[in-house]
Structure 1
Amino acid sequence: MLLIDKEVPQMIKSHNERGTWYWYVLLLEVSLNICGEYSPTSTIASDRPKVFVALVVRNAEHVLPYVLGGLERQNYPQNRMTIWIRTDCNMDQTSELLKKWQQGTNGVYAAVDLEVLPCSLPHEKYPFAMDDTRARHVEMLRDTAMATSRQLAYDFVMFLDSSSFLVDPSSITDLVDSGRDIIGPFLPSLNKHGNFWCNTSTEGRYIRSEDCTEIFEFQKLGIFDVGLVHGVLMINLKNPDLLDLRFGSEKSDMRQYQQFLLNMIRRNVTANIINKRQYGYSMIPLVNGSTFLDQTDGFRNLQLEVLVYREAIPQTKYITVEEEDPDTLGFDHIYFINLDRRPDRKKRMQNSFQALNMEVERISAVDGEKLNHDLLDTMGISMLPSYEDPHKKRPLTMGEYGCFLSHYAVWRNVVEKGYRQVLVLEDDIRFDYNVRHRMTQVWEDIDRLNLEWDLIYLGRKRLMDDEEPYVKGSQHLVHVSYSYWTLCYMLSSTGAQKLLAGNPLTKMVPVDEYLPIMFDRHPNEEWKGSFENRDLRAFSAYPLLVYPTHYTGEFGYISDTENIAEWGDGLDDGAEEREPISDSEANGRDLALSTHDEL
């Protein structure tokens, strides 16, 4: 899965690869965190260059609040900015939202110039059609914006679009201060690319190239010459060589961006991209025939990936965003296990649940650091005598006890409440793309096949090379082999009853060893012999719907569980992780149920 936020240090894959640029990025990130909340209106200056911000937008109801939110978050003096917006041919509430935003920002910027144009392309069948006719129409509007900005004697014109989202408050400031004539902030997308072309031909065409990999990966930071910047870019209006620069062309054989590129080439002007910070993100472009649901899913996928590494994409404060009523994805209930000392994970998961319109109950966990030998004895909890970590040759850690207790309490709660089917989540997970739609597909297979099931993994680590055939007649479910991790799993009432009936508290093993024991796919025969009824009906979604946020060895990987004391008192400083193990599986192991609160 693509890791899109390469500015922050946790994105770096290898400690040995870190050089001067790494520590520079770390300093940038720390400085941004120290700044805290930004107040754009606090930076009022009359001597800063004037910036004309142009936005051409259509059918953007679902994403517009975030496009405008990123603009509002900028720390550039707002009295030096005019916002010019043109919209037409909307099949949603885009026009109405823009009018509300214009009213809300009255007096905030130097001016907000909004015009809802008559639809000049009424033949469009789909909300996101982008044929040559539409592309030329957008280029014409951009040329109109550039001409208007020149007439008003502005210093810079900056173009935004409805598929790009600024998150760094210094985006406009850095572009103005860059000293470049045509420059854009690097805005990566989920397919690794973003808003620039690395190389172009003399005919104004895109050339596929790997030359800019280090820019894409944030391995080099700075300002770089590139073939083209598009989507979000700034142009210096004071350069006389750019007086007649245009986007559009009346020639019907010109492709999108081609006229702009040819104009640059004739004037010997270079485009630049800046990646000194994580300025924002861009959506994967919607293709012809895409629907509003495709737009919503595309933005949701981007939003969920962003949340793995940083704060949510900011929303406008001048438009009330109407949210759908949350649901439980077809389950009777959804549980989310989270340590009280991990409020950062709680906040990130709450934001993820909000993005997915999920109604979830948080389980406040008892910290494994608070468990000890005497307390476990008092509770009647003991380790399976024959258990020894298969890799590190050690007994259970206190974190592993705590994790088991939290999952055990969820199973017990399922039975007590009479739930038929629930979803159990840990707090260090990332959702795969289109997870709501894919969850629907899993349910459809279960219902169509009348599948009798007790437990279905939605996120796991497969450990054996054993064949895992598809469930007959299913395209989304497989028979499961020996697996680790309890990131996310579906559990039925009969499954919960079977897990409780195994009486695991007096012969405890890590919870992700216990599950494969109970569905009789564990390779350790001695451990299995301690549990008589191993008839849990287990399956797995394929492909998986949930993955860990970090893997062992990645920067940002933290194992709360493996660093918590083993059986006895105090920490074992020499203890290492069970392998293979993930951050999610490890952190989950020091959880134990204490209270419930609704999110």
Structure 2
Amino acid sequence: AATDHNVDNTTAILREWLKNVQNLYHDVEWRPMEDPQSYPEEIGPKHWPSSRFTHVMKLRQAALRAAREKWSDYILFIDADNLLTNPQTLNLMIAENKTLVAPMLESRSLYSNFWCGITPQATPSLCLQGYYKRTLDYPLIREWKRTGCFAVPMIHSTFLIDLRKEASTKLMFYPPHQDYTWSFDDIMVFAFSSRQAGIQMFICNREHYGFLPMPLKSHQTLQEETENFVHTLIEAMMGLLEKSGSGLPFLPHSQAERLMSFSSTQIFMINLKRRKDRRDRMLRTLYEQEIAVKIVEAVDGKALNTSQLKALSIDMLPGYRDPYSSRPLTRGEIGCFLSHYYIWKEVRGL
């Protein structure tokens, strides 16, 4: 685990994460670097000057070299902001039996961790050699209209290398291949290395594997990156909770330190006591958005009976029918109304 050039608390978060999970790993190498906090040429924390690309490529090359020296069978590269929600992702990628393969990751747009096309030659006025090229195949794969494992010219962010394959010995992140003339970019340098080694890249979308955030522009801020990542995290978390019914591990922070109520005096969250799964999901979502709430147990419509409704002086409007389904109010809808009514009474101090 390597971290450097930080102006936030990334190092502390990684250190706490390692403290909690390093016992799950055979070996952990920890490489924190507190200074410098930025690159000399950068115009902001989201700007990638050539020195930043070089540094990242050297780190990946060091990881690849270490894996080879340990006689590892595989090495899985995952960007820190990529979220794998399918616990079988590693096994599934190994089962594909490819030298270089990636699980297709989702975002809130068509963006993903692969390209279906690369510009074949430099555009005279722009020199856009080796850049992303739009193809008809890309949306078909990205939207699961075509499923399988597909040969593509570029995978990035999260991918698996099978080090048992002889061809993998020719792969390098750094230095760039001697014939490399494309733009200086880490994923393009590696794609060229793969091509020169005669290794085909593959993207797999047989299942849903996880999520990645949208890339930001060089002028954008860390606050924008935080908001972008929280959106991705909530999407990933919702999918995982729905599948497993369990929460995601997260670092313990003081609620008082993280949570706020904006300008509101109080925010209420209504929840049926018997729906613990929804409560956990909402609390985790609100936690990630740093919103403090008061939990109010909802009135359970299934527990309401006629005598209770009469005691509360609740009567159905004569002839009322739901405008969408043409039916009378259900007990669940009455319970929902009462839940809001009791909050209103509390707010009014009644």
Q: Same fold (TM over 0.5)?
A: yes
Corresponding position of 1:282 = 212
Aligned pairs, how many?
A: 331
Q: 1:337 aligns with which of 267, 270, 278?
A: 270
Query: Quick check: 1:139 aligned with 2:57?
Result: yes
Whole-angstrom CA distance in 1 between matches of 2:55 and 2:30: 17
Q: 2:169 aligns with which of 212, 222, 243?
A: 243
For residues 139-177 of structure 1, the C-alpha deviation after alignment (integer angstroms, 9 at most, x for no partner) is 233223323333333222221212212223222222223
Corresponding position of 1:398 = 331
Corresponding position of 1:178 = 96
Q: How many angstroms does 1:271 deviate by?
A: 0.9
- Cα–Cα, structure 1 residues 181 and 406, in superposed 2: closer, same or farther, change >3 Å? same
Structure 1 runs, 4 residues or longer, greater than 6 Å off: none
- Cα–Cα, structure 1 residues 411 and 236, in superposed 2: closer, same or farther, change >3 Å? same
Corresponding position of 2:70 = 152
Greater mean alpha carbon deviation, residues 361-370 or residues 103-112: 103-112
Asked if the contact 1:89–1:122 (Cα under 8 Å) also holds between the matched residues in 2, the reply is no
- Cα–Cα, structure 1 residues 239 and 322, in superposed 2: closer, same or farther, change >3 Å? farther
Corresponding position of 1:294 = 224
Equivalent runs, 1:60-71 vs 2, <5 Å: none
Which secondary structure state, in structure 1, belongs to the residue aligned with residue 29 of structure 2? strand
Whole-angstrom CA distance in 2 between matches of 1:98 and 1:391: 51
Corresponding position of 1:536 = none
Whole-angstrom CA distance in 1 between matches of 2:206 and 2:297: 39
For residues 210-253 of structure 1, the C-alpha deviation after alignment (integer angstroms, 9 at most, x for no partner) is 41334323455432222211011111223333322223427675
For residues 306-349 of structure 1, the C-alpha deviation after alignment (integer angstroms, 9 at most, x for no partner) is 34433288446xx6556634222211111222222322211111
Whole-angstrom CA distance in 1 between matches of 2:313 and 2:15: 65
Greater share of residues in strand:
1
Which secondary structure state, in structure 1, belongs to the residue aligned with residue 317 of structure 2? coil
Corresponding position of 2:154 = 228
Q: 2:183 aligns with which of 254, 272, 281?
A: 254
Aligned identity (percent) is: 30
Corresponding position of 2:126 = none
Q: 1:196 aligns with which of 106, 114, 118?
A: 114
Greater mean alpha carbon deviation, residues 246-255 or residues 178-187: 246-255
- Higher relative contact order structure (alpha carbons within 8 Å, sequence separation ≥ 6): 2
Equivalent runs, 1:345-384 vs 2, <5 Å: 345-384=278-317
Query: Quick check: 1:94 aligned with 2:10?
Result: yes
Asked if the contact 2:182–2:188 (Cα under 8 Å) also holds between the matched residues in 1, the reply is no
Letter of the 2:183 partner, please give it.
M
Q: How many angstroms does 1:293 deviate by?
A: 1.5
Equivalent runs, 1:480-519 vs 2, <5 Å: none
- Cα–Cα, structure 1 residues 304 and 108, in superposed 2: closer, same or farther, change >3 Å? closer
Structure 2 unaligned spans of 5+: 122-129
Whole-angstrom CA distance in 2 between matches of 1:198 and 1:167: 24
Which of the pair has more CA radius of gyration? 1
Whole-angstrom CA distance in 1 between matches of 2:168 and 2:42: 34
Equivalent runs, 1:455-466 vs 2, <5 Å: none
Asked if the contact 1:167–1:313 (Cα under 8 Å) also holds between the matched residues in 2, the reply is no
Letter of the 2:224 partner, please give it.
D
Letter of the 1:306 partner, please give it.
A
For residues 475-513 of structure 1, the C-alpha deviation after alignment (integer angstroms, 9 at most, x for no partner) is xxxxxxxxxxxxxxxxxxxxxxxxxxxxxxxxxxxxxxx
Equivalent runs, 1:389-538 vs 2, <5 Å: 389-416=322-349
Asked if the contact 2:108–2:214 (Cα under 8 Å) also holds between the matched residues in 1, the reply is yes
Which secondary structure state, in structure 2, belongs to the residue aligned with residue 113 of structure 1? coil
Corresponding position of 1:166 = 84
For residues 504-537 of structure 1, the C-alpha deviation after alignment (integer angstroms, 9 at most, x for no partner) is xxxxxxxxxxxxxxxxxxxxxxxxxxxxxxxxxx
Asked if the contact 1:167–1:314 (Cα under 8 Å) also holds between the matched residues in 2, the reply is no
Asked if the contact 1:247–1:259 (Cα under 8 Å) also holds between the matched residues in 2, the reply is yes
- Cα–Cα, structure 1 residues 340 and 197, in superposed 2: closer, same or farther, change >3 Å? same
Asked if the contact 2:85–2:240 (Cα under 8 Å) also holds between the matched residues in 1, the reply is no
Corresponding position of 2:139 = 213
Q: How many angstroms does 1:416 deviate by?
A: 0.9
Equivalent runs, 1:548-559 vs 2, <5 Å: none
Which secondary structure state, in structure 2, belongs to the residue aligned with residue 304 of structure 1? helix
Greater share of residues in helix:
2
Corresponding position of 1:109 = 25
Corresponding position of 1:77 = none
Letter of the 1:112 partner, please give it.
V
TM-score (norm 1): 0.50
Asked if the contact 1:202–1:262 (Cα under 8 Å) also holds between the matched residues in 2, the reply is no
Asked if the contact 1:366–1:402 (Cα under 8 Å) also holds between the matched residues in 2, the reply is yes
Q: How many angstroms does 1:97 deviate by?
A: 4.4
Q: How many angstroms does 1:202 deviate by?
A: 4.0
Letter of the 2:6 partner, please give it.
N
For residues 76-125 of structure 1, the C-alpha deviation after alignment (integer angstroms, 9 at most, x for no partner) is xxxxxxxxx33332223334444555566666433222234565934434
Whole-angstrom CA distance in 1 between matches of 2:248 and 2:277: 17
The CA RMSD measured in Å over matched residues stands at: 2.9
Whole-angstrom CA distance in 1 between matches of 2:50 and 2:88: 34
TM-score (norm 2): 0.82
- Cα–Cα, structure 1 residues 132 and 407, in superposed 2: closer, same or farther, change >3 Å? same
Letter of the 1:244 partner, please give it.
K
Asked if the contact 1:95–1:116 (Cα under 8 Å) also holds between the matched residues in 2, the reply is yes
Asked if the contact 2:271–2:295 (Cα under 8 Å) also holds between the matched residues in 1, the reply is yes
